[in-house]
Chains A and B, each alone.
Chain A
Amino acid sequence: EIVMTQSPATLSVSPGERATLSCRASQNVFSNLAWYQQRPGQAPRLLIYAASTRATDVPARFSGSGSGTEFTLSISSLQSEDFAVYYCQQYSSWPPEFSFGPGAKVEIK
């Protein structure tokens, strides 16, 4: 089983500032890494897949990078709607398995 970890668990940022979140995989997942945003009371929303490709309608202020075991999600200038919890997710083909990180909360400073 591939275990995902995220840091920091909580990030306090002022609106307009940059936020950087990290995700680490216990094994090489190549670029099979996605990022999701979850607002309170809502389902997760896909932001990034293939480590760095923005999903449809995702603003350009969101960017993803990394490969192998180390990944980063950056939000260049935080808007009010960006304060949420962010999850990374990996996919491994054998055995076929998705797994999620524990989440990282971005809160208003």
Chain B
Amino acid sequence: QVQLQESGPGLVKPSEILTLTCTVSGGPISGSYWSWIRQSPVEGLEWIGYINYSGSANYNPSLKSRFTLSVDTSKNQFSLKVNSVTAADTAVYYCARSARTAMGPYYYYYMDVWGKGTTVTVSS
């Protein structure tokens, strides 16, 4: 079955760039959308955005435009870049598969596979 594994630095300094990568194993990255979600005591679970294998991405409109998603199909990976991090970006970051199911004329969307999460701390 599909498994996801996040990787990246556990500690980042304020104003620096944070890059996290999610490696997809057990299945191809094509055919699905792939999300990043973060969790902090202040914000709870916060969806950051999703991307598909062709690079088409959508972002949480409530977040500022510091977030960029990218995909590398040759490595079966997708990535999150966060510019100019602050202490407010301290969180556990999860990658997840955003599944879509058709039931009758409607589509339903949910996260059916999650990585274990990686803790990121922003501190000097």
Contact = CB atoms under 8 A, between A and B. Distances in A.
B110 A89 contact: yes
Given A50-B101, A50-B103, A100-B44, A34 B58 contact: no
Could you tell me the dominant secondary structure of chain B's interface residues? strand
Interface residues of B, number: 27
B102 to A, nearest CB: 10
A32 B109 contact: yes
Given A1-B61, A30-B106, A31-B106, A46 B46 contact: no
A43 interface: yes
A96 B32 CA distance: 15
Given A34-B110, A43-B115, A46-B110, A102 B103 contact: no
B124 interface: no
Contact of B44 (A43, A55, A102): A102
Contacts of B112: 46, 49, 55
A32 B116 contact: no
Interface in B83-124: 94, 98-99, 101, 103, 106-112, 114-117
Contacts of B94: 43-44
Contacts of B50: 96, 98
B45 interface: yes
A53 to B, nearest CB: 8
Given A1-B61, A49-B101, A102-B44, A91 B114 contact: no
Given A49-B101, A49-B108, A91-B110, A43 B116 contact: yes
B117 A49 contact: no
A59 B60 CA distance: 32
B98 to A, nearest CB: 8
A34 B111 contact: yes
B110 A49 contact: yes
Contact of B108 (A43, A50, A96): A50
Interface of B: 35, 37, 44-47, 50, 58, 60-62, 94, 98-99, 101, 103, 106-112, 114-117
Query: Which 4 pairs between the two chains have the least Cβ-Cβ distance?
Result: A91-B109, A34-B110, A100-B45, A43-B114
